[in-house]
Structure 1
Amino acid sequence: MPPSCPCPAVTSSPQMGLFEGLFGGDHNRGTGSQQERSSSSAMAVPVPAPAPSDGAIPPLSAAAASVVRRCARIAGVPVDQLLRRFDAAEEQAGGPLEYARSVVEHCSYIALRVEARRQDHLGDREFHTLTYDMMLAWEAPDEETDAVFQKTAFSILRDDEDDEDGGSIFYSSPTQMAIQVDGRRTVGPEAFAKIAPACPAIAHPITVRNLFDALTNSTGGRLHFLIYHKYLKHLDEVLSSAKRILGGHKAPALQLSDGEVILDIHGAATTKPVLQHIGTSTWPGRLTLTNHALYFEAIGVDFSYGEAVVYDLARDLKQSVKRESTGPWGAHLFDKAVMYKSSSTGEPVFFEFPQFKGHTRRDYWFAVIKEVLHAHKFIRKYRLTSFQKAEALSVSTLGVLRYRTVKEGFHILPAHFKTTLAFNLAEKLPKGDKILEALYGQLKQHCPRGSQDFGQSSSNELMLADPFPLSAYTMARMGLLTLNEEDNHEERDFTVGDVQIGGTSSVQMALERSVGYSGRVEAARATLDQVKVEDIDTNVAVLKELLFPLIEIGKRLLALAEWGEPLRSYVFLICFLYMIYSGWIWFLFPGFLLGSTLFMLWNKHYGNTQSLGAFEIVTPPRRRTVEQLLALQEAISQLEAHVQAGNIFLLKLRSLMLAAFPQSTNKVAAALVVAAIAFIFVPFRVIVLVILLEAYTRQMPLRKKSSEKLVRRLREWWLRIPAAPVQLLKPQETRRWRSRLRSR
C-alpha cells in the first residue's frame, strides 16, 4: 500500500465554510444524532461505528479507513460525523461489501469535489496518490476482500519472480521495469470507472472503460500507479499547454469567438507543414482545430502565415469528413489525408498530413475533427443553449485533450468501439443514440437551486446530487472557459436525481446495453477481415462462386428460351402460362420468402450446429502487374463504350420527342397510342402474358425467322434516326452561355 499522503490544513482551506453548513457547524452533536443511529441500526447491513482511538473503522479495511480519514480531513469535519451523515442519508440494502463500497464512494466524492477546485490538482503527486488509494479502497473496502486481494497480488508477484522464461527486466522498457520494481497493488476496471469520473478532467463516464483499456494495454488489464501517475502528469501538461495558447503564448493570430478553445495545432514548424489540396492546387500551411472550427493558414514565400481560411464546424452545413488518399496534382497516391466537404465549399478540401511511415497523424486529426462535429450535431439535435451547450462542448473539449494525452504519452490511438472520445463512441456504438438521449436527460436535470448555497443543502439533496462534477465548471476553474454570470455558481451544486451513490446512471445503463451489442458487431467484423482478398481476379472468383446457384438457374432458363430441347421448352411454356393465367404467379415471391424462412429454421433446429465450414474457391492464376493494368484499361474502355451507347440512346430519344425526324415520329406516336389503348381496355394480366409469350417464343422454330427479320428491321430503323446535337463548352464559357439564354 502506498503511504497516506499529507492533506492540506483544514483551517486554511477555502472550502471550510462550505462544508460547515453541510455537516453542521457544531462538531459535538454526537448525542443529538442518537435517534438517527437507532433508526439505521435496523438495516440489514453493518453500520460503521465512530472511529475508535486506534483509527479503525469497522467494517472497513485498514486501507479504506485510511482513505475515509483523509477525506474527512479534506472536507474539514470529524470522521464520526461524516459517517453519521452518510448513515442518515443512505438507506440502501445490501451486504457488507456493498455497504462499505458506498461509504468509500460517498467520502471520496465529497473530498474530490474539494480537491478538484484547485487549479493545480492534476499536477500534484499527492492528489495522484489520494485518488489511486480511493480506487484501491473501493475495490477492497472490507477486511475479507482486502485479504483476498493481498493474497492474489502476492501470488502474482511470486509467479513473476519465479518465471524463468520471462526474460530479464533489463531488456524491457523502463516503464515495465519500474512497474516490476514498484511492487504496489494494482487497480481493476470497476474501481477506476467508479472513482476517476469524479474529476471530469481525468475521465468521463461514457469513455472511462475505454480509457482504462488504453492505459492497461500492456499491463494485463490492471492499472499500475506509475502508469496512472504518468497519465495524470501528461494530462496536466496538455491542459497547461492549451491554457498558455489560449492566453496568447505562441498562439496563431486567429479571431476566436467567446468560449472557443484551441485543441491542437499541426504544421507550426515550417519544415513539417500540412498540405491543403483543392482540385489540382496545393498549399503548405498550418492547421488549427478549435471546439468550433478549423483554421488553415497558408505559408507565404517569406515563410510567414497568411490570412486564415475558416471551416466552420458548428453550423449545419451538411458537412462530412472522411479518410482519403491524395497526392500531387490530385493523384491518389498517399493514404494520409482527411477530406472535408460542406455546402459552403465548392469542392472537397483535402488536408494531407505527411508522415514517413504509417498514417497515425491523419487518424488522430480525423478522430478529433469528427468529435467536434458530433458534439455540435448533438447540440443542434437537442437545441441546447447557454449552460447546457457549454457543458456539451466542455465534454468534447476535455475528451479531445485526453485523447491527445494518450497519443503523446503512450503512443496509442484507440479507435472504433475503443475510442476515448465520448461523442464519437456514441455515434459508432449500436444504439448509441440511446446514450445521447440519456446524456441529454441528465443535462436537462442540471437546474440551479436558486440562491441556495451548497453548504446549506440538506442530507437528502446530497444523496441525489450528481457525484460527477460538471465539465464546464472544471474548464472554468482551469481558465479554459468563461461562464456567464447566471451560470457561474462556483459554490453551488446541481440536482441530478438519476445518479446515486452505489447506483447506476441512465447513461451508464445505456452504455452497457450498447457495449453488449457491440460485441456481436466486433465478432461479425472479425469474420469480414478473414474473407477480404486483395486481388481483383480472386474477388471475381469469389463472387461467381457465391452466385453459382443463381447463375445456374439463369443458364437453364436461357437454354429453355433458346428451344434447344423443344419438349422441355413446351412443357415449361405451358406451365408458366397457366401460372400467369390462374394468378399463381403473384404467389411466387411470397412463396420464395416462406421457403427461405423454412430453410433457415430447419438449419437452426436440425442442421449442423457447428460453425460453417470454409467456402472453398479455386483461385485463378495470378497475373503480373502489367497484365492487371492492361485488364483495368480494357475494363475502363468497355465502361466508356457503354456510357457512350447510353448517351446516344438518350440523344436519339430527344430527336424523336422534338420531331427532328417526322416520319419516325409519326410511327412512334401511333405505337404509343396503341399501347395506351391496350393498357386501358386490356387486363394487365393479359398484357403481361402477351409480353412474356412474345419474348419466350422468339427462338421457337415456328417464329425464329420472322423474329430475326423483325429485329433486323427495328435495328435498321433505329440507325436512321439522327442524334440531337451537343455543344461542349469550356468552364469559363458556361456563364456567358447562361446569360445569353436569360437575355433571350
Structure 2
Amino acid sequence: MEGGIAMFENFMRQNSLKSLFLGGKRKSEGDENEDSPRPIPQLSLISNSVVARCSRILLLSTEELQRSFESEMSDHVKQPSSYARNLLEFCSYQALHVVTQRPDHLADKDFRRLTYDMMLAWETPGIGNVSLLKEAASHGNPVNDDEDGGSLFYTNSLSMAVQVDNKKTVGAEAFARIASACPAVADIITAHNLFDALTGPSGGQLHFLIYDKYLGSLDKVIKSAKSVSGQSQVSNLRLVEGEIIIDTDGTVPTQPVLQHIGVSAWPGRLTLTNHALYFESFGVGSYDKPVVYDLAQDLKQVIKPELTGPLGARLFDKAVLYRSTSVAEPVYLEFPELKGHSRRDYWLSISREILHVHRFIRKFNLKEIQQTEALSRATLGIFRYRAVREAFHTLPSHFKTLLAFELAEQLLGGDMILATLSTRLELLNSQSQKHDVAVGASSKNEKLRPGLSPFSFLTLTRLGFVLRKEKHVAEGTAFLASDVCVGERNPLEMAVEQSQSNSSIAEVARATVDQVKVEGIDTNMAVMKELLFPVVESVRRLQFLASWDDPLKSTLFLALTCYAISRDWIKYILSCSFVFLAALMMWHKHRSKGKPLEAFKVRPPPSQNPVEQLIALQQAVSQFETLIQDGNIILLKLRALLFAAFPQATDKVVLLLIFMAAVFTFVPMKYLFMLVFVEAFTREMPLRKESSDRLIRRTREWWFRIPAAPVQLIRPGESKKKK
C-alpha cells in the first residue's frame, strides 16, 4: 500500500494534469468506450463531466466514488433533495486535495478550468437542469488534441467536451464552496468579499476570464515572494526560524520609502515578514543595517494612516504611523506617489494584518502548529490581497477587505469569528502519521480520523515556503482538512455571515446618520430644541406648578407627591416609565405596520452669512469660557473652605456637615426626600416667598465673602530659568 502511494505521488510530480485525464497515448474509440467512466444517473451533464475527471485524478471509477460517498457520509447528507450537489462536493473536494499538492497547480490552465467547471456544476448539479445540458450541447465542440495536446474537458463517457464558455458565469455561493477548498485560492472568512472584488464590474457574476486572470496574478505574486527570499538584496536581514518575506517596497531608487522620525527623513527599502517590519536606509552602494519594528511582541503597537511632509509639516496623506513602547517617538513611513494613496493603503492593511494575527495568537495562547497555521492563513490572505491589487488595481476596504484577521477586527461581532477560528485551530492534528485520501477513499470500512489538518501551512509548504522544520504533518482527509465540509456549513462561515449581516445593518444606520447631519450652530440648536420639546415642555409645566400662579393645581400636585413619597411609591416611578415607553413603542409598531418613519420637520432659523456665523461662534466660545471660569471659582472657594482660609465660614460649614451627618443617620431617607421636595417646591408659595428670598439672599452674600484659593501659573520657560 505504501509503495503504491509513493508511486502515485511521484507520478503526480512528474506529470501534468492532462496526462492524468488522457493518458500518455491516443486510444481508439473502442478502447475509449471500454475505459470511459460511467455517468451517474442523478447528476447533470456537467456534473458527470466533473466527476469523471475527479475519478481519473483519484484513480478510482465513478461507481467507487459513489459507493464511498454513500458509505462514509451521514444520512442527512444523502437526502434526495441534496444528493447530487453533495456527491459533487464529495468528489470535488477529494480531487482538489490531490491536485493542490502539486507546487505549480495555480499555473496550470487545466486546474483553473477544472475548478471553474466545479463551480458551474455546483450551481446545476442534478438531472433537472436541462438548460445547462442544452447550452453544453450547443457550445461544446471538442478541443483539437493536436492544438492543445489533449483537453481536461474531454469526457469519453459523454462523447463530447464540456468547455468553459465565456457566457457562463458562477455565483457567490458556488465560488465560496469550491474555491475555499483550495487554501491558496480563497479563505472561507473572506471568500464572499473576494467574489465581490472580482465581480464588481460584472454585476455579481464571475466570468472565467476574470477568474483565470486572478489565478494568474496570484501565481505570479507567490512566485515573486518565494524568489525574493533567495535574492542577495535581502541577505542582510537576519530572519528567525519560520520567518518568511511577504513583500518588499522601495527597491527602485526613484520610488523609495521615506522614514520620518522627528524632522529627519531617510529614503530606503521596507520589507514585511510574517513577524516584523524591516526598514533599510540607502547607504553608499548598499543598504544600512535594518531597523526592526517587531509586530509579534506585545509592545502596545499602533499602526494607522497619518499625514506627513518635509520638516514635520502635515501636508500629504501618504504615510503610515507606527508607535510602540520600543520606540522613543512615533515613526512615520511615507509612500510617495503622484496621485492618490493606494500604495500607502496597501502597506497599512498588510502590516495591520500581521499585527492582528499575532494579537490573535497571544489572546488565545496558540502554540506550535496552531500558531504556524494562523500565520500561514494571514500570509495567504496577503498574497490574495496583493494579487487582486496588481491584477485589477483595486483595494477592497472596510467591511469588504480580503484580509481575514483585519476583517474580524472591523466587523461587528468579529470577536466571535476569532473565537470560532481558535476553536477549529485547537482541533489541528500534528501527528506524524499520514493518511492518503486517494487510496483511503476506496476503502468502505475505513473510518474518518478525528481532527483537522493545518491546511494553510501545508499549502505554503508545498508552494516552497519553509515555516517549520518538521518532516511530517498529518494531512487528514480531503473533506475534513479544509474549511469546507460536504453538505454542511462551517461554523466559521456562519459566524462570518452573522457578523457581516450585523455590519450591513450598521452601515445602513450610518448612512442615515450622515443624511441627517446639518451644518451651522444655529441650525443644530434648532434641531435639538425640537427633539427635546417633550422634555422642555415637562420642565416648563413643573416650573409653572412651582411658581404657584394657580394655587389649586400646585396644592394638589404637592399633596399627591408627598403622599407618593410617604407610601414609598417613588421607587416605582422609573419602572413605570420603562413600561410606559415599551407600551408606547409597541403601539407605534402596531400602528405603522412596517411603514417608513416620517421625516422630522424642523423650521430652521434665518440663514446667516459667514461673518454672522463667525460672530455667533465667538459669542458661544465666550459664553463657554465664562461657564468654565465660574466653575473654577466654585472649586477654588471650596478649596479655601477645605483648607480653612476663611475661619468664620469654616466653622459654620463644619457645624452644617455634622448636622447633615446626624440627619442622614437617624432620619429615614423618604422623609429627607420629602423635606427637600417641599422646601424647593414651596419657595414661591405666597406664605414662604418673602422668607425664602431673604434666606437665598443671605446665603449668596455669605458665599460672596468667601475668598478664592490663590492660583499660580508656571510657564515652561520660567521653570527652566529657575532651575
* TM-score, normalization by structure 2: 0.79
- 2:429 touches 2:452 (CA, 8 Å); kept in 1? no
Deviation of the 1:370 alpha carbon: 3.6
Structure 1 residues 120, 643: closer, same or farther in 2, change over 3 A?
farther
Q: CA deviation at 1:373?
A: 3.2
Tell me which of 387, 409, 423 is aligned to 1:441: 423
Given residue 393 of structure 1, which amino acid in structure 2 is its aligned partner?
A: L
The separation in 2 between residues aligned to 1:644 and 1:309, in whole angstroms, is 49
Which residue identity lines up with residue 39 of structure 2 in the other structure? I
Correspondence 1:646-725 to 2 at 5 A: 646-719=631-704, 720-725=706-711
Give 1:227 shift: 0.2
1:235 aligns with 2:221: no
Q: Taking structure 1 as reference, are residues 155 and 127 closer, same or farther at Cα in structure 2, changes over 3 Å only?
A: closer
Q: Deviations over 1:382-418 (max 9, x none)?
A: 2101010010111112112212222332233333433
Q: Is the 8 A contact 1:215 1:223 kept in 2?
A: yes
Aligned length in residues: 669
Residue 595 (str. 1) matches residue 580 (str. 2): yes
Q: 1:201 to 1:347 in 2, by over 3 A?
A: same
Give me the whole-angstrom Cα distance separating, in 2, the residues matched to 1:79 and 1:291.
43
Contact 2:309/2:316 (<8 A) preserved: yes
Letter in 1 for 2:487: G
Name 1:187's counterpart in structure 2: 170
Confirm or deny that 1:120 pairs with 2:104.
yes
Distance change in 2, residues 1:10/1:483 (3 Å): closer
Judged with a 3 Å threshold, the aligned counterparts in structure 2 of structure 1 residues 461 and 55 are, in CA distance, closer, same or farther, namely closer
Instruction: Name the CA shift for 1:67/1:494 in 2 (closer, same or farther; >3 Å).
Output: closer
Q: 1:678 and 1:334, CA in 2 relative to 1: closer, same or farther beyond 3 A?
A: farther
Contact 1:403-1:420 within 8 A present in 2 as well = yes
Identity %: 47
**1:196 CA displacement:** 0.8
Asked whether the 8 Å contact 1:296–1:310 carries over to 2, the reply is yes
For residue 539 of structure 1, the aligned residue among 509, 519, 524 is 524
Q: Match for residue 602 of structure 2?
A: 617
Q: Is the CA contact 1:467–1:499 (under 8 Å) kept in the aligned structure 2?
A: no
Cα shift readout 1:326-351 (whole Å, capped 9, x = no counterpart): 77888877666655555556776666
1:304-323 equivalence runs, <5 A: 310-321=292-303
Q: Does 1:139 align with 2:123?
A: yes
Residues 1:291 and 1:126: Cα distance change in structure 2 (over 3 Å): same
Name the aligned partner's letter for residue 184 of structure 2: A
Q: Does the CA contact (< 8 Å) of 2:274 and 2:375 recur in 1?
A: yes
Q: 2:88 maps to which residue?
A: 104
In structure 1, which of residues 226, 229, 245 is the aligned counterpart of residue 228 of structure 2? Answer: 245
Equivalence for 1:552: 537
Change (3 A) 1:192 1:466: farther
Structure 2 residue 710 is matched with structure 1 residue 728: no
Q: Distance in 2 between matches of 1:642 and 1:276?
A: 45
Q: CA deviation at 1:436?
A: 2.6
Please list the CA deviations of residues 148-171 of structure 1 after superposition, one character each: whole Å capped at 9, or x if unmatched: 235689999xxxxxxxxxxxxxxx
Shift of 1:88: 4.3
Q: 2:486 matched to 1:501?
A: yes
Does the C-alpha gap of structure 1 residues 631 and 221 become closer, same or farther in structure 2, counting only changes over 3 Å? same
Structure 2: distance between partners of 1:155 and 1:618:
66
- Contact 1:274–1:285 under 8 Å retained in 2: yes
Within 1, Cα distance between the matches of 2:190 and 2:271? 25
TM-superposed CA distance for 1:211, in Å, is: 1.0
Is the contact made by 1:128 and 1:232 (CA closer than 8 Å) also made in structure 2?
yes
Label 1:320 to 1:596 Cα distance change in 2 as closer, same or farther (>3 A): farther
1: CA distance between counterparts of 2:691 and 2:286? 80
1:700-721 C-alpha deviation (Å, 9 max, x unpaired): 4554454444444444444432
Instruction: Point out the more displaced range, 469-478 or 214-223.
Output: 469-478
Q: Give a deviation string over 1:31-85, Cα, whole Å, max 9, x none.
A: xxxxxxxxxxxxxxxxxxx985565513244433333343344344555555554
Question: Does 2:465 match 1:480?
Answer: yes
Unaligned runs of 5+ in 1: 1-8, 18-49, 157-180, 738-744
d(CA) in 2 for partners of 1:353, 1:633: 40
Could you report, residue by residue, the CA deviation over 1:651-710 in whole angstroms, capped at 9, with x for unpaired residues? 333333233333332222222111111111222222222223333344445544544444
Conserved? CA contact 2:435–2:474, under 8 Å: no
- Look up the SS of the partner of 2:495 in the other structure: helix
Distance in 2 between residues matched to 1:715 and 1:337, nearest whole Å? 58
Where 1:577 maps in the other structure, the secondary structure is helix
The TM-score, its normalising length taken from structure 1, stands at 0.77
One of 202, 209, 234 as aligned partner of 1:226: 209
Aligned 8 A contact 2:301 2:322 in 1? yes
Cα offset, 1:232, TM superposition: 0.9
**Counterpart mapping for 1:302-701 below 5 A:** 310-321=292-303, 342=324, 360-361=342-343, 363-454=345-436, 457=440, 459=443, 470-485=455-470, 488-489=472-473, 496=480, 500-607=485-592, 609-701=594-686
8 Å contact from structure 2 (residues 300, 324) kept in 1: yes
Gaps in structure 2 of 5+ consecutive residues? 1-6, 16-31, 140-163
2:454–2:475 Cα contact (<8 Å) kept: no
In 2, the alpha carbon distance for the partners of 1:255 and 1:96 equals 58
CA distance in 2, matches of 1:541, 1:253: 65
Q: Deviations over 1:557-577 (max 9, x none)?
A: 234434555554444334333
> Residues 449-488 of structure 1, C-alpha deviation per residue, up to 9 Å, x if partnerless?
44345377574667668898711111222233421326x4
Looking at structure 2, the residues matched to 666 and 141 of structure 1 have their Cα atoms a distance apart, in angstroms, of 92
Cα distance in 1, alignment partners of residues 607 and 255 from structure 2? 41
Q: CA RMSD in A?
A: 4.2
**What letter matches 2:104 in structure 1?**
D
**1:716 and 1:253, CA in 2 relative to 1: closer, same or farther beyond 3 A?**
farther
